[in-house]
Structure 1
């Protein structure tokens, strides 16, 4: 039976009424019945049970094993459900302690796209790999959000072990490629955006329609085998060096929760084509404060507010050719890095490509929060993954 929920949250808890992220959980007494929950402090509100008890018209969207039906219902329903959830917080009959439930991948991933939107990250990487180039950025970088299509089937929920990938690698000094476990395994701190409302093929999404399609936000770790990536990525880009695992939070924080954290992106230094020109739009940046820890020790604090390209611009570019959106599409910001040495988003930057890299047994944890209304904090669910040895063949 559900435990009683908290009557009062600790001051400053980032999972208060301003946040209310959605996830999917099971309990020990009903392990075969995943359903939608809402995090509130250190508890999970059984949204399906609360909706049924209160006669909600949306009960059928919440007693489901993924968030996809709720996400597909569209923004008016998202807002209505969120309003009802706030009312259910006073009903303590439907809460479970967070440490007594099992969390699952919260949505069925349709497609996965990863961008490269941090000027600081792109510049740092360019200087590492092209030290003699006059400009560390490629000629197209400030004209369009660069991205690639990843593998949706290997998106995993926080807490899932990450098996060290095997593949081809070839250092510049090697005569021929070799094969084996990656020797340069890296993390990438990113922010993910989850699509709810789909579109028809041939219909681009404008900057103004961003809110109508993006359901929520999550943290994301785009694990990267740098040695595999370096050998394979010319001329078509990342493939096996990225596709072995991408970790996401078990909680999806509604986009609406970040209204108080909206901020202007960095000043643009190149004119933008009309479909990307956000000069007259609402501030497209989000003031997210990310922290990356390895084995419990914080190694960097990347600021999401420093990202050159916004999530709305990424969505507009991703669909400008008529590519359709599906419920459950996930797209990631690319590695988040800031201008300072302690604000980079991966080990490649932190060590200037020299390592050390992630070792077997290392545990990587991403956490983040954003300013909320009236001095509150809006939290994102953490993303944690432990590296385990490569499988033998």
Structure 2
């Protein structure tokens, strides 16, 4: 637990995001007063969950392991209901807590289960993926998917704390590590251009799990999100900027049946949003090009199928940011100058797709 960075997230229920290596020993303090701690995990992370259960047991807490389906397959009402049944059978009370061990999907589910059980019990995301650390675990957004789209059912429920244990990344498949960098790049474009400078200086160092560059990127991205959500927990204002690139990304994920990695979809979505801003006269060509160059340098996709535009457009119309029939997109007016493009025409939307994204 040496060299740990503590990043505060403010608001009505403040908490800390801890960034460092070998942090599992800090978990019992975050759930102090609990008798039981439900540990949600997917099968590939069973050993991590067992390790965490041992830490909890050593601190006098009773772990309740709950295995859930991996990735987006776990974010369903059926899985959430099965988790509630387990909590009920165990006699879970208001003072107990839920922990999600895994990537963004598992922590989204764990947070939703915690938010809805007894109208809200404590929870802690223990992120094992870069995507989870810099995105899903921070901010108190919880949710599950429905047939209509991704994350359309959920709740705002801030965690008791967040563990970003960088040692978890040592065994993360390189493709998943790289995918998580799409959210880091997003933070660079909307708020902290130093992130972009770091990646441009050495893209390979940005993908080294134990290296100082990746740690700095994680801390910078977490600070961006912490700053935004501190002032806007419920996405009624500035928090919307965190959805940069996500409107098209969520549509791609749904078209793909959630088989595409979230970060890969976000990467394509970033290029699309930048192109849309340029065609709307909001963003310069150089900054648009910088999106593609940085994402390409990390090996992230920047194009998607040309034949599915009608389906993508229909899916975007049920995006959470839509207002009635009007689509809203987070765009840039310049580097680190996010804003909203409200109600762009269908012609403009299609032109942006066909100009830069359709492959």
Structure 2-normalised TM-score? 0.28
* More helix per residue: 2
* More strand per residue: 1
Higher normalized contact order (CA 8 Å, seq sep 6+, divided by chain length): 1
Structure 1-normalised TM-score? 0.26
